[in-house]
Structure 1
Amino acid sequence: MTSLLAPGPSGSGSATPTPAASRNNPISLRIYKAIGTSFDDRSSREALEIASSFYSAKGKGRTDDDILPIRRTLKGQSAATARRNLKRDVEARMAGGAQRFLTAFGEVDDKLDVLREHMLDMQSRCDAVQAELDQANSGTKYLLERADGLRSQRASAQLRLSLVKLFLARFTLTPAEEAALTSRDHDVGPELFTALDRVETIRRDCQALLGGDESRMQAGLDIMAATGTQMEAGYTKLHRWLEFAFRQMTREAHLEVSPAMREGVKRLAARPTQLKDALGVLTSTRQSAILTAFLDALTRGGPNGLPRPIEIHAHDPTRYVGDMLAWVHQTTASEHELLESLFGVRAERMVGAERDTASTEASKRVGEALDRDLEGLGRPLKLRIEQTIKSQEGIIMTYRIVNLVQFYLVTMRKTIGPDALLVKTLQELYDYANAAFFETLQAQGRSLLRFLHPPDATLSPPLSLRDVCQVLREIITVYDTSLVDAAERETDFAKLLDAAVDPAVEMCERMADLRKASGTNGAWDKDVFLVNCLEYLEHTLEPYQFTAPRVQGLQLQIETHVESMTFEHHGKLLEQCGLATVMRAIHSRPPDTPLSRLPGATATELTAALTKFSSFLTSHDPLTSPRLALLTNPRSAEVIHRTALRRIAEAYAEVCDRVLDKKEGYEFAETLLRRGRDEVEVALGVQ
């Protein structure tokens, strides 16, 4: 009992302090120690639980491996027995556990011995296998080396195969491309053009092979030969297709240029011979079609008779010729647009502007093709217009045809160029019509000079001159309404005026000469008649600006005759006013001789002349004179009369100066002069 109550060395409780009287009493010490010890910590509880398990009943916590003996104790003495045998039981339990460990490790050792023997056996087997492997390795070394060589050869072959495939893909055509070039089952279209581009690319890339070693050069030659054959087949197919397509372009309904046709013509530009053959088919087809269409337009008209046939208006020369030329011009424009579309020429120009026919190679081809297309129109057009011109007798109608042909000549020259055959035909027509017109005009001039007679008593322009001026007015009206630029027609019109006006002027001069030779007052009548005729011509030409040079020439001639009439009229007035003798004396007197001593200018004669002059001033008409009444232009008569009166005033002023001059020897000179100069000028109406 005392041993169980004594504190163990591992007790975790703290002793309760004891009184000093019982410190030396062992029982008291044990009791106090037991009472003061605490077994609440975890380790103490686990120790007690393990100790209590030692002595639990069979089947209540004991196992078959438990080595503790089962002791028979009296009732109530089991706890004391357990306390006495606790240390021995613990040691026995520890010895049993150690024995069980030894038994287990013995079994493990036996197993390890078996495993060691097994490992040794495996080692021997591995050595045998390794020996066999070494033997096999030495036997298959050649095969491995051979396999490596074959593997490297295979890689090299695969690389070469890929290079060959790339080479063939770059320098050969696909089956589809070959079919597009050679097969008739494939129509001409983008596939053919793509294949041609591919061939061109191959041949261009092949140039690099021709500059290498012999093997590469041979490959390049082979490729060039193969692609050359393929290219030739493609272009031959394209050429035949274009010829077939061009043969179908016979009517307006078939005049549609497809993109394939345009691209085909562009491709064949690299092969001038084939392109020339194809264009020859086109121009031949279009020439025949245009000529047929022109003849149909002349005789049959349009579809269902509209528009009506051109020849139905053959009785109207200007409309007949104009309709033919308009049809040709319209057809030319349509054909030009067709060819520009075919050759891919995009002309950016205003409507009616001049076309540039030789700016590019394509434009030159357009001009050449258009020239050949319209070539067939020249002969029938020229024949009909020439017949129309020959049948005309009137000069006005001929001139209208001339202007009409000239307008279309200038227009077509801008449209298709001056070297085109149709333009040359129009130029020949214009020259023919112009020659016919001038021949008629010259015949009219010759007829004016054929039967001449003196002018009538009124000295007015003759009827033949009036007819010439009427024709000239109509010609000028036609010229003024012409659509041809003034620069194109100015030279020809100057020749026309000369051919029309010169014979008329010559006729008037000859008639005036006949008048002059037939009468006493012939020179005066001649001037009056010529002034009337020339002014009539001037009045005909004056309203138009383009006749200004010829009008100026007529004015110079009129001024010459007006001056002659003014001089003669002044002489007559000088005789009437009485100053003629005095003026003759003044102008013919010898040097150093006084005027008063000359006959006709003495004081007596001077007084008589001045008296007559005063009477003239009171009786004359300052505005007109009966001698000028035959002038058809009142303004000319007024100019002549006023100029003569002004010269009379100047003559009187000169007489006054001489009379007042003391050297002239007049006595009482102031008394001789009855009127002053200003008074005379007022009286004559020239101030």
Structure 2
Amino acid sequence: MVNGQGYMNDFSENFDDKFTAVPAPQKSNALSNKISTVLSASYADSEIREAVRTLDERNIQNSAETRRKLRLDVQKEVIERNGDIIKDFGHVAEQLKRIGTTINSLNECCEDMRQRVAAARQENAPVLEEASTLLGQKQELETKKQLLDAFNKHFIISEEEESLLTTTSKEVDDDFFAILKRVRQIYLDCQVLLGTENQRLGLELMDQSSRNLNTGYQKLCRWIQKEFKNLNLENPQISSIIRRALRALAERPSLFHSCLDYFAEARERVLTDAFYSALTGSITENDQNPMTNPIEFHAHDPLRYVGDMLAWTHSATVSEREALESLFISEGNEISKGFQAGKEAEPWSTADGEVFDGLKALGDLINRNVAGVSKALRQRVEQVIQNHEDPVLLYKVANLVNFYRITFAKFLGADSSLLETLSSLEESSLRQFRTVMSDTVTSIQADLSVPPSDLRIPDFLDEALNQFTALMKSYDSSLTPASSRIADFKPILSQALDPFLKACEKISKETEAPVTSIFLVNCLLAARTTLSRYDFVQPKISDLDEQLASLSSTLTQYQHAFFLHTSGLHPLLEALAPIDESAESLLRVPMLAPFQQQALTEASQTLDDFLPSALMDAIQNLRGLSSMKFAQEVTAAAAERFCEDFEFVEGKLGKVDELREERAAEVEKGEGDAEGDDEGSKKGGDAQKEEGKTEKREVVPLRSLFPRTGGEIRVLLS
């Protein structure tokens, strides 16, 4: 490339020297165009670049001779190359001639072979046809053989398999269940054969498989019954093959129920014996079990005795349910599916539309298993109920039975026979409780007399409240729903508390006030204190509060009367009762006997003597009350009413004194107006004046005779 570039540079320099040294001739159009074309050529043109690159590769020296011979050399080289190409094509033509000759020979050979093959085919056609027929027959026979083998493999069981399925001497194992499943499938698939034209094979196979199935299920049923004899439900590792056998036997509902009946009878005997052993420590009547702790020998308290029996029953029932769940309840609900399939095999064994409910069947089975325990439990608890007359014990037994009844209902269902037994025991205990309480109340009513001298609560009420406290404590620990606690305990209130309060009320009627009210208040306060610890007796507490409020009002009236009569204020109040607010009515007050000077002075002295010890004397009247706070509240209320009465008298006396002062002032004014009259009138005026002076001298303010004020009274009685 460098040489080519140098060549172009030398050419340009020589051209410039040549055309600049010579004087410029007249320009020719052709030459001018040629020069313009050369000068306008761009080195970036691809053709020029290729040309320059070619020159560079030939290592041509840039000289005048080389430039003159360049065109000739190039043309010579082109001619030589074309000659080489023509020579090569000559060799190719010669080879093609040889190939043509070979192909012609091959064509002649192929034609000869074609003729020979056609002749051989014509000669062997009958043999090939016969061979094709034989091959088709062979293929058909092989297909039939495969079908026969598949049929035998699917529908026919071997003698060894049939023996394993039907012979009782052979164990029930996984092979047995595999064969049973296969025979069951054969029986179902035989229904397809019945749809063909030839039904004989299907009927024979179905009859054979049906006999094998029935024999196999009979064997399985006997095997399960045998296993049930020695089955230990307390063992957590219960054989899985038993669970599998039960799920398989579910396809024969009649046999399944027969096994359940057998199992229920066996478990009932086992649980009854276990319960007897737990009670007495004996496995049999003459065989003592040293490993047990007999309930009857160690539970001396009746409540503990009943509780231990119920606890054992609960533990046994829970264990029974857990063990049976693993046997009869499967995750895939396989027993229910087996029963559904069993409807077709034994349509007479199940009612139309009946669906196997595993949980319900489990509950029924548990009820049957614990039936013997339920009878023994009922007998012993009823003995405890009939042999005791302690109402607290009877009620605790009822609550204990109620607790277990609610507990059992959570996993046995509402229709359980054990729940019926517990409900009957609970009702029996409550009935005995009501009988004992009724007898107690009857005996108390026969011995009713008068209240104690100190007016404390009677012994029978104290004992009844102690019993009732125990009853409430027992009820509070029960499982009674919060929504019905008040209503459910109401009968206990009416039986264990109300009769005793009514007896106290009857006793109080034999006394006089205030002993009647004080005695009743003591009884009601004791009852309220006992009830206040529990919220489910709130309505009864409200009733007691109403009765106490009524008795408080009665005692307040008594204390108020005591204040009025002891203080001497009662005659004044009675005298002022008909006096209204008119002046004429008020001016009559001084003329009333209690408001005469001597009588009013004595009333004032009586009041002064009463006030220093008034509160202590009043509270002394209620000394029989068990609550000093209640006595103080009653006395304070009575003192307040007394102060209001005193303020009423004080107000009336003040109004009377004001009216009398006004009248005295009017009399003095009348004396001054009478001085200017005549002598006769003067004499009369002197007489009136003298009379007015006399009246004025005799007027003494009532408040001066009864000087105490309402404020002083409140201070002294506070």
TM-score (norm 1): 0.69
State the Cα distance separating 1:513 from its structure 2 match.
1.5
Superposition pairs of residues 50-199 of structure 1, within 5 angstroms: 145-173=129-157, 178-184=162-168, 186-199=170-183
The equivalent of 1:581 in structure 2 is 571
The equivalent of 1:550 in structure 2 is 540
1:243 corresponds to 2:234: no
The equivalent of 2:619 in structure 1 is 625
The equivalent of 2:215 in structure 1 is 233
Deviations 1:508-530 (A, max 9, x none): 12221122xxxxxx121111111
State the Cα distance separating 1:585 from its structure 2 match.
4.1
The equivalent of 1:653 in structure 2 is 647
- Paired residue for 1:310, among 278, 295, 308? 295
**Structure 1 unaligned regions, length at least 5:** 1-129, 348-358, 516-521
Question: SS at 2:513's partner residue?
Answer: helix
AA aligned opposite 2:523: C
CA distance, structure 2, for counterparts of residue 661 and residue 498 of structure 1: 58
The equivalent of 1:681 in structure 2 is 714
Superposition pairs of residues 553-564 of structure 1, within 5 angstroms: 553-564=543-554
CA distance, structure 2, for counterparts of residue 436 and residue 650 of structure 1: 57
Judge which range, 329-338 or 163-172, deviates more: 163-172
1:436 corresponds to 2:427: no
Whether the 8 Å CA contact 1:623–1:642 is kept in 2: the answer is no
Judge which range, 479-488 or 226-235, deviates more: 479-488
The equivalent of 1:616 in structure 2 is 610
Whether the 8 Å CA contact 2:568–2:606 is kept in 1: the answer is yes
Question: SS at 2:509's partner residue?
Answer: helix
Question: SS at 1:187's partner residue?
Answer: coil
Question: SS at 1:561's partner residue?
Answer: helix
1:196–1:582 Cα change, 3 Å: farther
State the Cα distance separating 1:411 from its structure 2 match.
2.2
Q: Report the count of equivalent residues.
A: 534
AA aligned opposite 2:220: L
CA distance, structure 2, for counterparts of residue 396 and residue 660 of structure 1: 67
1:456–1:134 Cα change, 3 Å: closer
Superposition pairs of residues 69-468 of structure 1, within 5 angstroms: 145-173=129-157, 178-184=162-168, 186-203=170-187, 214-215=197-198, 220-249=202-231, 257-301=238-282, 304-313=289-298, 315-344=300-329, 361-468=357-464
State the Cα distance separating 1:428 from its structure 2 match.
1.4
1:646–1:591 Cα change, 3 Å: closer
AA aligned opposite 1:341: S
Question: SS at 2:497's partner residue?
Answer: helix
State the Cα distance separating 1:643 from its structure 2 match.
0.5
State the Cα distance separating 1:314 from its structure 2 match.
6.4
1:148–1:491 Cα change, 3 Å: same
CA distance, structure 2, for counterparts of residue 465 and residue 565 of structure 1: 22
1:624–1:191 Cα change, 3 Å: farther
State the Cα distance separating 1:148 from its structure 2 match.
3.0
Question: SS at 2:320's partner residue?
Answer: helix
CA distance, structure 1, for counterparts of residue 660 and residue 603 of structure 2: 15
State the Cα distance separating 1:244 from its structure 2 match.
1.7
CA distance, structure 2, for counterparts of residue 596 and residue 231 of structure 1: 125
1:414–1:588 Cα change, 3 Å: farther
CA distance, structure 2, for counterparts of residue 333 and residue 265 of structure 1: 21
CA distance, structure 2, for counterparts of residue 453 and residue 627 of structure 1: 23
1:410–1:664 Cα change, 3 Å: farther
1:150–1:568 Cα change, 3 Å: same
CA distance, structure 2, for counterparts of residue 487 and residue 327 of structure 1: 31
Whether the 8 Å CA contact 1:247–1:285 is kept in 2: the answer is yes
State the Cα distance separating 1:581 from its structure 2 match.
2.8
AA aligned opposite 2:315: Q
CA distance, structure 1, for counterparts of residue 496 and residue 120 of structure 2: 134
State the Cα distance separating 1:483 from its structure 2 match.
6.8
Deviations 1:66-100 (A, max 9, x none): xxxxxxxxxxxxxxxxxxxxxxxxxxxxxxxxxxx
Whether the 8 Å CA contact 2:302–2:384 is kept in 1: the answer is yes
Deviations 1:545-602 (A, max 9, x none): 3333323322222221121011111111122223223333444457967244254675
Whether the 8 Å CA contact 1:409–1:427 is kept in 2: the answer is yes
Whether the 8 Å CA contact 1:441–1:500 is kept in 2: the answer is yes
Whether the 8 Å CA contact 2:329–2:359 is kept in 1: the answer is no
The equivalent of 1:594 in structure 2 is 585
State the Cα distance separating 1:152 from its structure 2 match.
1.5
CA distance, structure 2, for counterparts of residue 620 and residue 269 of structure 1: 94
1:166–1:596 Cα change, 3 Å: farther
1:495–1:665 Cα change, 3 Å: farther
Whether the 8 Å CA contact 1:449–1:503 is kept in 2: the answer is no
CA distance, structure 1, for counterparts of residue 330 and residue 627 of structure 2: 64
State the Cα distance separating 1:403 from its structure 2 match.
3.0
CA distance, structure 1, for counterparts of residue 158 and residue 299 of structure 2: 65
AA aligned opposite 2:166: T
CA distance, structure 1, for counterparts of residue 249 and residue 617 of structure 2: 88
Deviations 1:425-469 (A, max 9, x none): 122112112211221111111111111211233222222322323
State the Cα distance separating 1:614 from its structure 2 match.
4.7
The equivalent of 2:557 in structure 1 is 567
State the Cα distance separating 1:284 from its structure 2 match.
0.7
1:499 corresponds to 2:490: no
The equivalent of 1:99 in structure 2 is none
Judge which range, 609-618 or 401-410, deviates more: 609-618
State the Cα distance separating 1:337 from its structure 2 match.
1.6
Whether the 8 Å CA contact 1:248–1:254 is kept in 2: the answer is no
The equivalent of 2:680 in structure 1 is none
Whether the 8 Å CA contact 1:579–1:609 is kept in 2: the answer is yes
Whether the 8 Å CA contact 1:566–1:640 is kept in 2: the answer is yes
Question: SS at 1:305's partner residue?
Answer: coil
Whether the 8 Å CA contact 1:570–1:645 is kept in 2: the answer is yes
State the Cα distance separating 1:306 from its structure 2 match.
2.7
CA distance, structure 2, for counterparts of residue 497 and residue 382 of structure 1: 28
Whether the 8 Å CA contact 1:581–1:600 is kept in 2: the answer is no
AA aligned opposite 1:536: A
Judge which range, 658-667 or 218-227, deviates more: 658-667
CA distance, structure 1, for counterparts of residue 383 and residue 309 of structure 2: 13
Whether the 8 Å CA contact 1:596–1:603 is kept in 2: the answer is no
- Paired residue for 2:522, among 532, 535, 538? 532
CA distance, structure 2, for counterparts of residue 391 and residue 659 of structure 1: 77
AA aligned opposite 2:634: I
Superposition pairs of residues 4-19 of structure 1, within 5 angstroms: none
CA distance, structure 2, for counterparts of residue 618 and residue 401 of structure 1: 60
Which has the greater radius of gyration? 1
CA distance, structure 2, for counterparts of residue 208 and residue 606 of structure 1: 129
AA aligned opposite 2:291: L
Over aligned residue pairs, what C-alpha RMSD do you find?
3.7
1:144–1:311 Cα change, 3 Å: same
CA distance, structure 1, for counterparts of residue 356 and residue 654 of structure 2: 90
